[in-house]
Structure 1
Amino acid sequence: MSKVYHFDYIIIGAGIIGLTLAKELMSKHPQPTIAILEKEEDVAKHASGLNSGVLHAGFYYSSDSLKAKFCVQGNQFMKSFCMENNIPVNNCGKVVVAINEEELQGLYELEKRGKKNGVDLELIDLDRLKEIDPNAKSYQKALYSPTTASVDPKLVCSRLKDILIDKGVELDFSTQFWSMKNNIIYTNKKQYSCKFLFNAAGLYADKIAKQFGFAKNRIIIPFRGNYLVYRNKKHQIKTHIYPVPNLLNPFLGVHYTLTVNNELKLGPTSTPAFWRENYNGLSRFNLQEFMQIIYYESKLFLFNSFNFRRLAISEIKKYNRRYFVQLAKHLSHNCNPESFDTWTKPGIRAQLLNTKTLKLEMDFIVEGDSNSLHILNAVSPAFTCSFAFAKYLVSEKLQKNID
């Protein structure tokens, strides 16, 4: 009989949620034994390491949402962690700009949400906008968020990995969760048991949760995001510049983003992908996933739920670089579209779909019982929220479930 390795806590997934969860468990419980099981060869190989690195301020989300609850605090926690660990932060701020009267009303709604959520936010006139970023273009007003920033997400996750290893957390890479039967966790390498399991598997969180009786009527639909990089590093953009978003869907529209090194990017795309790790070509093709995801994407297209048909068509058009860069032309006075000429490595957004209503879930969703917790929907701003979200999972969800 194979040896079974026992731990107090097992976490599936070494993305930002899994890593911050482990750190929080170490701080809350006396010398717990923790193992993180990760199917890749290192941390943050998917969304956590391929996201834009923007630290959001928290004004997009309705005040009754978990996103609103954790974003402001998460922004502060992430900046503190970076400061303590000598990780660079680009405190460039963000402006949200409008193109007409209708979008101006959208700015007022965002300001209202931000104030309710306790965000440091300022509705500014065009003179003030010119002081903050002379290249940003707007109609009558703009919204200024001084606490929005950028970090290197891979650097953050790498530092977390080092801290956890130093504290005795076991990180088992190239270890894929297969199943759990009779309290034994089976993987491609070892067998494990634990007092409590956290499922932070990102793109595969729903598939794992279903083995535990959760994620009923829910499936993850992948969306692929690409950015274009501005060739000239001496660009004139001073802040992140975002359009007024459609608050009925989870995507924020094409925008200018500054990296931690002040590199300018344009994006992202939000293209429906055909399997969970559909990054490039047929890489990591999975026929079963393809058939399942095509089925649901076809239903979304047919019934046009949340305007999916228009979204899909517009996203396909973004593969034309000229069309893509023109979408952001109204955001700035002086930014040469032809200089956006290099695509970044794409990332995949794991977006949870309710298969009964055919609606995308807009907030964080966690399900569990006295034996396990499953983080089913942890999309943007999950990276920003991660430290605050981990505190909630450990102090509230875990405690409630085991009591």
Structure 2
Amino acid sequence: MSNIVESDYLIIGAGIIGLAIAKELHLRYPERRIIVLEKESKVAEHSSGRNSGVLHAGFYYTANSLKAKFTRDGNRILTKYCDDNNLRINKCHKVVVASDEKELEGIYELERRGKVNGVNVRIIDEEELATIEPNAKTYKKALYSPDTSTVDPVEITTHVFNDMQSKGVQFYFKEGYHQKIDDHTVESTLGNRYHANKIINCAGLYADKIARDYGYSEDYVIIPFKGIYLKYTKEDKPIKTNIYPVPNLNNPFLGVHYTVTVDNIIKIGPTAIPAFWRENYKGLSRFSFSELLTILRYETKLFLNNSFNFRSLAYEELHKYNKKYFVSLATKMVKQIDVDGFNQWSKPGIRAQLLNIKTLELLQDFVVEGDTKTVHVLNAVSPAFTSSFPFAKWVVDHYIEKDEV
């Protein structure tokens, strides 16, 4: 048996959430030893490096939600982080457009949420919309978010990693969590043992499995959804601003929209296609039969009970594999665009979406469970990247520091 590696804090997962928590812990306790275990060969291999790259403003979420506060604050903090560290940021803004009278009500509801949350948003008419994004099309009114930007999530995550490594945080790559030995000790996939005063589970797609080893996530399971974007590859740039539809606020997905990346590439998406295993990125890569059975069991329940209109969601999302249909959803929001320009699929991402197995409800807010020994970040879905720094501060305040005072 190998020697036990001792630390004050052991973080499982080197995505943006794990790194942001490491950053916050090091800021408060620079003398303490922090170790990060990561099963991949580098940071940001999953959601942290496969998301849209949008720094959201925070107007979608109800005022009493963690997402509302952390997205608003995270937008400001990450914008400053990019500016201070010369990281790329495209301050391209965002408009939300309506297609009819009913969606116009949604525009006003988003404005109301934004104002309550202290977010810089306002209603604009068609004339002003034409000055912000000449190609956008709306019904009477639109919502304008001047603080929405796009960034390179891999660049930011890598920058945080380099900063933390230079300050003494230790990273062990290609070495993931294997099993619990006791409340303070884990065994890695390489057979090494790590003992820590506090274990912090930021394992994303596998956070619920690790949490169950410690008596948590009893009411939850992660159901993966696959997100893919379609890129516009022609030389012209017919759109300069992010254009979104009015979303269905009863589910956590924002609908097909236009994103202008940090490289000024236009893309539409994403899909939210139910995946069949947790890392179901392409073909049979990383296939897991046990995960397939578990996910099919819960998705069958969702289908039979039609929870949050899962049947129509599943049909709609599977229909998006038809590129012509997928593009047609986006063309409704613009005056003109060459549909043949959308011909390159992006790298797929998987959303680690938490499901309450008792209520069959998709959790829309952040969910964290834990005690004096372990902390488990169970639901850190979009806009978790935008929210990561203030969310990490909240986790340390409420689940780590309060136990040590």
Offset at 1:31? 1.4
1:331-380 deviation digits (Å, cap 9, x = unpaired): 10011222111101100000000001111001000000001110000000
Aligned to 2:313: 311
The whole-number CA distance in structure 2 between the counterparts of 1:337 and 1:402 is: 57
TM-score, scaled to structure 2: 0.98
Question: How far apart, CA to CA, are the structure 2 residues paired with 1:105 and 1:203?
Answer: 35
Residue 175 of structure 1 corresponds to 175
* 2:222 alignment partner in structure 1: 220
Per the alignment, residue 370 of structure 1 pairs with 372
Task: State the secondary structure of the residue aligned to 2:90.
Answer: coil
Partner of 2:272: 270
State whether structure 2 residue 70 is matched by structure 1 residue 70.
yes
The whole-number CA distance in structure 2 between the counterparts of 1:157 and 1:258 is: 20
Mean Cα deviation higher: 392-401 or 243-252: 392-401
Distance across 2 between alignment mates of 1:249 and 1:93: 24
The answer for the alignment partner of 2:107 in structure 1 is: 107
Partner of 1:355: 357
SS of the equivalent of 2:297 reads helix
| Aligned partner (choices 366, 389, 394) of residue 392 of structure 1 | 394
1:332 pairs, out of 322, 327, 334, with 334
**1:156 correspondence with 2:159:** no
How far did residue 399 of structure 1 move? 2.1
Return the alpha-carbon distance in structure 2 between the equivalents of residues 13 and 175 of structure 1.
10
Check conservation: 1:371, 1:402, Cα contact below 8 A: no
Counterpart of 1:187? 188
Aligned equivalent of 1:343: 345
Q: Which deviates further from its counterpart, 329-338 or 106-115?
A: 329-338
- Secondary structure of 2:215 counterpart: coil
Q: Deviations over 1:100-145 (max 9, x none)?
A: 0000000000000000000001100111000000000000000000
1:48 counterpart letter in structure 2? S
2-side partners of 1:127 and 1:397: how far apart? 49
Which of 62-71 and 393-402 deviates more? 393-402
Q: How many residues align?
A: 403
Post-superposition CA distance 1:76-103 (Å, at most 9, x none): 1111111121101000000000000000
SS at match of 1:279: coil
Measured after TM superposition, the shift of residue 32 of structure 1 is 1.4
Distance 1:166 1:334 in 2: 49
| Deviation readout 1:216-275 (Å, 9 max, x if unpaired) | 121000000000000114222121000000000000000000100110000000000000
In 2, distance between residues paired with 1:322 and 1:162?
42
Q: For structure 2, which runs of at least 5 residues remain unmatched after alignment?
A: none
SS in 2 for 1:236: coil
For residue 120 of structure 2, what is the aligned residue in structure 1?
A: 120
What SS does the aligned partner of 1:147 have?
coil
Partner of 2:131: 131
With 30-39 and 94-103 compared, the bigger mean Cα shift is at 30-39
Distance in 1, matches of 2:70 and 2:2, equals 42
Greater displacement, 263-272 / 232-241: 232-241
8 Å CA contact retained: 1:229, 1:342:
yes
The one-letter code of the counterpart of 1:308 is F
Q: Deviations over 1:310-342 (max 9, x none)?
A: 011111111110011001111100112221111
In 1, Cα distance between the equivalents of 2:252 and 2:403? Answer: 29
1:54 touches 1:150 (CA, 8 Å); kept in 2?
Answer: yes
- After superposition, give the CA deviation of every residue in 1:133-168 in whole Å (9 maximum; x if it has no partner): 000000000000000000000000111111011001
In structure 2, C-alpha distance between the alignment counterparts of 1:346 and 1:291, rounded to whole Å = 22
Structure 1, residues 163-189: CA drift from partner, whole Å, max 9, x if none? Answer: 011001111000010112233210122
**Match of residue 253 from structure 1:** 255
Distance 1:397 1:184, change over 3 A: closer
Letter in 2 for 1:186: E
1:206 aligned counterpart, secondary structure: helix
Partners of 1:199 and 1:218 lie apart in 2 by 15
**Contact kept? 1:368, 1:401, Cα under 8 Å:** no
Q: Tell me if structure 1 keeps the 8 A contact 2:372–2:399.
A: no
Counterpart of 1:88?
88
Q: Does 1:4 align with 2:4?
A: yes
> 1: distance between equivalents of 2:212 and 2:147?
38
Aligned residue runs from structure 1 range 220-239, under 5 A: 220-239=222-241
Give the letter aligned to residue 19 of structure 2.
L
Instruction: Supply the distance in 2 between the matched residues of 1:93 and 1:401 (Cα, whole angstroms).
Output: 41
1:402 is displaced (CA, Å) by 4.1
Amino acid at match of 1:266: I
Partner of 1:145 in structure 2? Answer: 145
Give the stretch that moved more between structures: 277-286 or 333-342.
Answer: 333-342
Structure 1 gap ranges (5+): none
Q: Secondary structure at the match of 2:332?
A: helix
C-alpha distance in structure 1 between counterparts of 2:73 and 2:402, whole Å? 22
Looking at structure 2, the residues matched to 209 and 401 of structure 1 have their Cα atoms a distance apart, in angstroms, of 19
Q: Is the 8 A contact 1:233 1:263 kept in 2?
A: no
Secondary structure of residue in 2 paired with 1:328 = helix
> Does the CA-based 8 Å contact 2:371-2:399 persist in structure 1?
no
Letter in 1 for 2:139: Y
For the pair 1:205 / 2:207, whether they are aligned, the reply is yes
- SS of equivalent to 1:95: strand
